[in-house]
Amino acid sequence: MDEQNNQDNPQHNNDLHPENPSDKNSVTPLINPIGAAFIGLIGGFFLYQFVGGLITILIFGLNVEDAPVNSLRLMTMAGQFLFILLPALLFSKIFYQNISAIIRLKIPNWKEILLFVIGIIILTPLLQSYLYIQNYFIDELAKTSGFVNSIKETLDYLNDFLEQAYGDLISVSNIYEGILVVLVIAVTPAICEEFMFRGFVQRSFEFKLSPFKAALITAVFFGLYHFNPYGIIPLIGIGLYLGFAAYMSSSIIIPVLLHFLNNFIAVMLYFIFGDDDLISSAPTTNIDISSSVAVFLTLLALFAGLIVMIKKYYSDNLKVKLQN
């Protein structure tokens, strides 16, 4: 949807937004917003993966796996702030001259937070159930198809590499390392990635595309960005929900909080139970496919009901605002 259509249809801009303090029509992009979004995506990826990787090699040498793990954790955290968060803020200022409106710096109320938190509580096991089903069928197909099996072997290799790196990053020996891991795995990505993806990138897409398309495209790139071969669809699902939360609430605070909770709960469960399956998206054995499908469908129905409830909440708020 282009800007002219949005301007001709003010109801669309205010749809389900009872406060709408940062209407995009009050911001004049200095370049094409789609181009700005891709500058954010490509620029952030290049800076974090390549420039950050080069700096890491210059500091620790080519044998990065031999570097002190806490130093790598600090480098990871610094890289996200320098090469993801900072560019999101700079791009918002340079291309739109209004950081607050683009990033959606608005404090939500507790009812909004509660609704969306319930959603992430339902969505997390829902996507885990999907992952069991997906991996079950991949495993079954790999047994009968050489082509699928070759793809699976490649995915397994990539997944093992990522799990090794992630496992080293998340394994701790004392409470201080645990606090550092929470900062690196839960706090930092929640802030930096959300400001870039649900803030600058999705907001840029919203100038030219429908809210759903903007959130979906952003979610796809969010999933690809994480290089998780088996978890790409669940990551897109989480990203889409975070985009929905950002758009409906007009606040970056909610997706930041949801992102933090998702990562924090996973880290805490890993600390408590020490089960590698909690941080793995690879196929596991002994999956009860019938139970997984039943759980998936049940949670899907609950999640759909919650989405309807969230939309009704904002619709009712808008009606009250218009009446006043």
Please give the single-letter amino acid code of residue 184: V
| Residue whose C-alpha is closest to residue 79's, from 40, 43, 51 | 51
- Residue 1 has a pLDDT of 41
Please give the single-letter amino acid code of residue 125: P
- Half-sphere exposure for 180 (CA within 13 Å, toward CB): 19
Q: Are 218 and 234 in contact (CB under 8 A)?
A: no
Q: Is residue 158 packed enough to be buried (19+ CB in 10 Å), middle (13-18) or exposed (0-12)?
A: middle
Q: Where are the domains of the chain?
A: 3-323
- Residue 254 has a pLDDT of 97
pTM of the model: 0.89
- Residue 6 has a pLDDT of 44
Per-residue tens of pLDDT for the chain, all 324 residues = 444 444 444 334 434 454 444 455 678 888 999 999 999 999 988 888 888 888 888 888 777 777 888 888 899 999 999 999 999 999 999 999 999 999 999 999 999 999 999 999 999 999 999 999 998 998 889 989 888 889 888 888 888 877 777 777 888 888 999 999 999 999 999 999 999 999 999 999 999 999 999 999 999 999 999 888 889 999 999 999 999 999 999 999 999 999 999 999 989 888 887 666 655 666 565 778 899 999 999 999 999 999 999 999 999 888 877 876
Tokens of 21: 């303090």
Whole-angstrom distance, CA of residue 277 vs CA of residue 239: 21
Tokens of 143: 């047994």
- How many residues are present in the chain? 324
Could you report how far apart the first and last alpha carbons of the chain are, in Å?
30
